Structure 1
Amino acid sequence: MVELDKLRTLSARVGADPLLVQAAGGNTSLKDDGVMWIKASGTWLKDALAKDIFVPLDHAAILAALATNDPACESCTAFVRTDLNSTGLRPSIETTVHALMPQRVVVHVHCVNTIAWAIRADGEQRLSEKLAGFNWAFVPYARPGLPLAGAISSRMRPGVDVLVLGNHGLAVAADSVADAEAVLERVVAAVNRPVRDALPPDRQALAKLCAGTTYKPAAMDETHALATDPLALKRGKSLVFYPDHVVFLGVGVATSFDGQPPLVAVPGVGVLIRNDAKPAIEPMGRCLADVMRRVEDNDPLVSLTGEDVDRLVNWDAEKYRQTLKA
């Protein structure tokens, strides 16, 4: 299928951009002849050209189930076209986002610039200035699955092809891969935010701290900003602003080795990653640093509540994603 091949190429390109997608986050889809092909849960978009990461589903069946608030829409495994599913994988935990957008192609990303707006209490108002030329909708935060499907349904209007998901990310849609990519590029340019310079890590100090431990310095310079940017650490140490933060890093960011956390931010020095940490840990740590470097001290931010966090970590679909590795 030519269009699916084009989607694989776009997926790999988007998945390789840490400002758009981190680790297994984000997903893409294509609707064709009643079948919706969507990225499988736990797979990485950057691998789209090297691995078969798409799962086929019965699109009409999903829509019918959503109309009745069917609990099967939480995982959407009941709608997989097993006759076409060579991978045996499960569909993305955000399948309902894609199903509800009527366009053929949907690209959902965790764009750090979008998130930096979408975690603000006045995010919808501020984005209305940035996205004045788009047919877009702002969707207040809701857990993926049925809650998010309901939130999207209440905000959708004919012609909407851009969704900003509060405390979550961005979804764009079009009837071809090329057009979806064009919309994505325009939106990303429109929501761009200034980035604070980050102090470099103290690599000598990090080397001493690692000696004799099961930790090593983070590979990406940008990740170290989580420890060297005071505001990034101040906010990230105790608050959670979007789902993938709590799912991969837990509540807050550790600043000591106590409990052997997968990531440790040493204030003013840099970030250490446990040697056996999942491949997603550093990309998620960098994402948090990237988002926080795009907010200011007086920005009116809204974090996820304790109840939001509980609903995420105890969700069966999310538990399944956590069992998978890149």
Structure 2
Amino acid sequence: MVNADFLNDLIALSARIGADPSLVQGGGGNTSLKRGDALWVKASGTWLAHAHERDIFVPLPLAQVRDALRHDDGETRVNLLSQGLALRPSIETSLHALLPHALVVHVHSVATIAWAVRRDAQTQLAQRLDGLNWAWVPYRRPGHRLTQVVAGILNTRTPDVLVLGNHGLVVGAADRAGAEALLAEVERRLRLPQRDAPSSQPQRLAQVNDLHWAPAPLELVHALATDAQALRIAAGGVLYPDHAVFLGARAAVVNDSECLSAALARTAAECGAAPCFALVPGAGVLTAPDLSDGAQAMLHCLALVALRLDGEAALAELGESDVAELIDWEAEKYRRSLMRTPN
């Protein structure tokens, strides 16, 4: 472990939020600390929950990162600054560097996502976040493109809270206490009730499971097939980046007259890729044998989000080109490769 006492607060905060699936799932989310001319930022694909046990932060020269952001190829320039490091810095490094706050926290808050995927998100959030120094950021692919949009906002003011459309939440503060207090306040204001869902039906799952896929290990995940509204969401489009990156563009839906293999073949023919999980309406969810722990965590997140959406609000799903770009992006392929290693 890096012997740097000044990182203790960052490590403690990161481990705490990383252990809370309502804030961070698997290797998602990232945190950073600026100290002098160094930016300490979470490494791509590492888990915040492991902050106490593993070295998950990498140092970068802050002034040089910020200088790189002034160029159209800023993302490439930032990557060059990390050459020689054992771990890659987070995809969101440019955003962490841009923000002036000493401590920055980016989470995939379930409550925030449940608002940020709505077409009326800005109106709803304006009511709930009134009085806070916040800003809405329309969806852009994570990384430099997103940072460029935030840079435009910072030309006129410096918000302490950013709600990222179809993505998540960012808070910035001077220290750990300030970041924790601000994060807790936003979570309090955006909290949504979670619906109770019907139980899974193991017998029905077994009947269609001719490929011997595993039932989802968490009962809550089965709500994606047993709750009518959650089923519509899970069978529909993609809502946020990690939904696409770790769960793919489409789930298979096993119709009444089908077995699992037939549903997978039909879905693969329709969308050009093999699904990694299957929804059996009214019964539950089946997962591919090689589905990583990280992807399982993303299924859990999808269930948490879907059970907070009531069906009355229109959703702003990511476009097909947005989804394809995320899935094919080399930076996300790298993150997926780390998810396949034991955690």
TM-score (normalizing by structure 1): 0.92
What amino acid is the match of 1:130? Answer: R
Which deviations, in whole Å up to 9, do the C-alpha atoms of 1:111-132 show, x marking residues without a partner? 0110111111111111011111
Which residue of structure 1 lines up, in the alignment, with residue 110 of structure 2? 112
Offset of residue 138 of structure 1: 0.5
Q: Secondary structure at the match of 1:323?
A: helix
Q: Secondary structure at the match of 2:326?
A: helix
What amino acid is the match of 2:91? Answer: I
What amino acid is the match of 1:145? Answer: G
- Report percent identity of matched pairs: 46
Offset of residue 275 of structure 1: 2.8
- CA contact under 8 A between 1:29 and 1:105: conserved in structure 2? yes
* 1:23–1:113 Cα change, 3 Å: same
Which deviations, in whole Å up to 9, do the C-alpha atoms of 1:182-220 show, x marking residues without a partner? 11111111111122211111234335555x744222222
Alignment of 1:1-326 (within 5 A): 1-69=4-72, 71-73=73-75, 76-80=78-82, 82=84, 85=85, 88-156=86-154, 157-207=156-206, 209-210=208-209, 213-256=211-254, 257=260, 258-259=264-265, 261-325=275-339, 326=343
What amino acid is the match of 1:27? Answer: N
The 1-side partners of 2:236 and 2:229 are apart by 12
- CA contact under 8 A between 1:37 and 1:56: conserved in structure 2? yes
Of stretches 19-28 and 1-10 in structure 1, the one that deviates more from structure 2 is: 1-10
Q: Secondary structure at the match of 1:324?
A: helix
Q: Secondary structure at the match of 1:294?
A: coil
- CA contact under 8 A between 1:3 and 1:177: conserved in structure 2? no
- CA contact under 8 A between 1:75 and 1:317: conserved in structure 2? no
Which deviations, in whole Å up to 9, do the C-alpha atoms of 1:112-155 show, x marking residues without a partner? 11011111111111101111121001000000122101111122
Which deviations, in whole Å up to 9, do the C-alpha atoms of 1:211-248 show, x marking residues without a partner? x7442222222211111111111122120110111111
Q: Secondary structure at the match of 2:32?
A: strand
- CA contact under 8 A between 1:227 and 1:267: conserved in structure 2? yes
Where do 5+ consecutive residues of structure 2 fail to align?
255-259, 266-273
* 1:172–1:292 Cα change, 3 Å: same
- CA contact under 8 A between 1:57 and 1:81: conserved in structure 2? no
The 2-side partners of 1:204 and 1:31 are apart by 54
The 2-side partners of 1:226 and 1:170 are apart by 24
The 1-side partners of 2:25 and 2:285 are apart by 17
- CA contact under 8 A between 2:201 and 2:283: conserved in structure 1? yes
- CA contact under 8 A between 1:58 and 1:80: conserved in structure 2? no
- CA contact under 8 A between 1:100 and 1:153: conserved in structure 2? yes
- CA contact under 8 A between 2:198 and 2:226: conserved in structure 1? yes
TM-score (normalizing by structure 2): 0.88
What amino acid is the match of 1:51? Answer: R
Offset of residue 280 of structure 1: 1.4
What amino acid is the match of 2:53? Answer: A
- CA contact under 8 A between 2:95 and 2:144: conserved in structure 1? no
Offset of residue 35 of structure 1: 0.8
Where do 5+ consecutive residues of structure 1 fail to align?
none
- CA contact under 8 A between 2:215 and 2:286: conserved in structure 1? yes
- CA contact under 8 A between 1:138 and 1:155: conserved in structure 2? no
The 2-side partners of 1:134 and 1:107 are apart by 16
Of stretches 229-238 and 127-136 in structure 1, the one that deviates more from structure 2 is: 229-238
Offset of residue 177 of structure 1: 1.4
Offset of residue 7 of structure 1: 1.2
Offset of residue 75 of structure 1: 7.7
The 1-side partners of 2:47 and 2:279 are apart by 25
